[in-house]
Structure 1
Amino acid sequence: MKTIATIALVVLMAGSGTYALAQQNPVPNAPAASQDQQQNRRPRMSQDDFNRLVDARIASIKAGLKLSADQERLWAPVETAIRTSATERFSRFEQRPTREQRQSMDFMQRLERRSTMMNEGAQRSAAVTTALRPLWDSLSEDQKRIAPRLLREAVNVDGPRWNARDGRRGHGRDHHRIGMHQGDPRGPVQQQ
């Protein structure tokens, strides 16, 4: 019995020593909640960072389309429209109200803000569409097949919305219904 008690005491002491070593030292004079928030935050994107990402996106679209010499002339207005839309989107993002300001808004203020954002998004989308139409009409069938995938984020007025879709592609319309798509093992839904 004495041996079991000694072993139990040694295990208990070894476990508590390991636990003590595993604890992180908190930063002095900083509340625990703000430490967690600082660790979970990503650094804010600067205008230069954003411009580099837009440059990379535009370069990937152009490379993926493999434009002919005639199509190159039609590309300049599309690139300008994409850059303008992205710049306006970044500007809107920088001017967004803080969480406290959004929470203090009443229903009508939120509705007006949403309406303004949707109108601005529609204007950006119309500008990109107008610039893209001549190029689209000149694309081959192969280019038209790949273009929507390449242009998806450039023509989406709000940018990618992975959070809203839980990391899934598509808008979720009717995908939750049983048998709605061809890949479903139960087969497509039969119309009655």
Structure 2
Amino acid sequence: MRKFTIAAIAVLSIAGSGAVYAQYHRPWMEHVRHMRMNPEDRAAFVDARIAAVHAGLKLNADQEKLWPPVEAAVRDFAKLRIDRANARMNAGPGDADRAEDPIARLRQRAEDMGASSAALKKIADAADPLYKTLDEG
């Protein structure tokens, strides 16, 4: 059960990033850039992944009480990633100049990493009590 939980939390943590990466880095579909995932689809994708992990854990009643903080932390992280993807998708022509500046990109990347770091720490803090209750079953 612990191995599954570790894998599940890792999957949830990168759920948004995987979907976003796949959305913008599909070399075999470069000619079809108009087929981007809309915000509602991204949210539905995250909901489905969270529900799948929750169902796969098969938590008992005591463990079930520890799930809501984990889910909230994962949703916060996913929202952060989705918001970034939506911002990139909706970037206007004026944003192209800023994107060309390597120093501005480095600063933005550092800010994004800081926010991601805080969100991942929140997931770890929320998942710790639940993780400690799991056994191999």
Task: Tell me if TM exceeds 0.5.
Answer: yes
Taking every aligned residue pair, what percent have the same amino acid on both sides?
38
Larger radius of gyration: 1
Q: Secondary structure at the match of 2:65?
A: helix
Higher relative contact order (CA 8 A, sep 6+): 2
Alignment partners' CA distance in 1, 2:127 and 2:79: 18
TM superposition outliers: structure 1 runs of 4+ over 6 Å:
none
Where does residue 62 of structure 1 map in the other structure? 54
Gaps (5+ residues) in structure 2?
1-28
- Name the count of aligned residue pairs: 105
Q: CA RMSD in A?
A: 2.3
C-alpha deviation, 1:47, in angstroms:
2.2
Where does residue 104 of structure 1 map in the other structure? 100
TM-score computed with the length of structure 1 as normaliser = 0.49
Q: Quick check: 1:127 aligned with 2:103?
A: no
Richer in helix (by share): 2
TM-score computed with the length of structure 2 as normaliser = 0.67
Where does residue 140 of structure 1 map in the other structure? 135
C-alpha deviation, 1:42, in angstroms:
4.9
Where does residue 78 of structure 2 map in the other structure? 86
Gaps (5+ residues) in structure 1?
1-36, 143-192
> Conserved in 1, the CA contact under 8 Å of 2:66 and 2:129?
yes
Q: Quick check: 1:43 aligned with 2:39?
A: no
Alignment partners' CA distance in 1, 2:51 and 2:75: 12
Alignment of 1:111-190 (within 5 A): 111-142=106-137
Alignment partners' CA distance in 2, 1:49 and 1:79: 19
Alignment partners' CA distance in 1, 2:127 and 2:30: 42
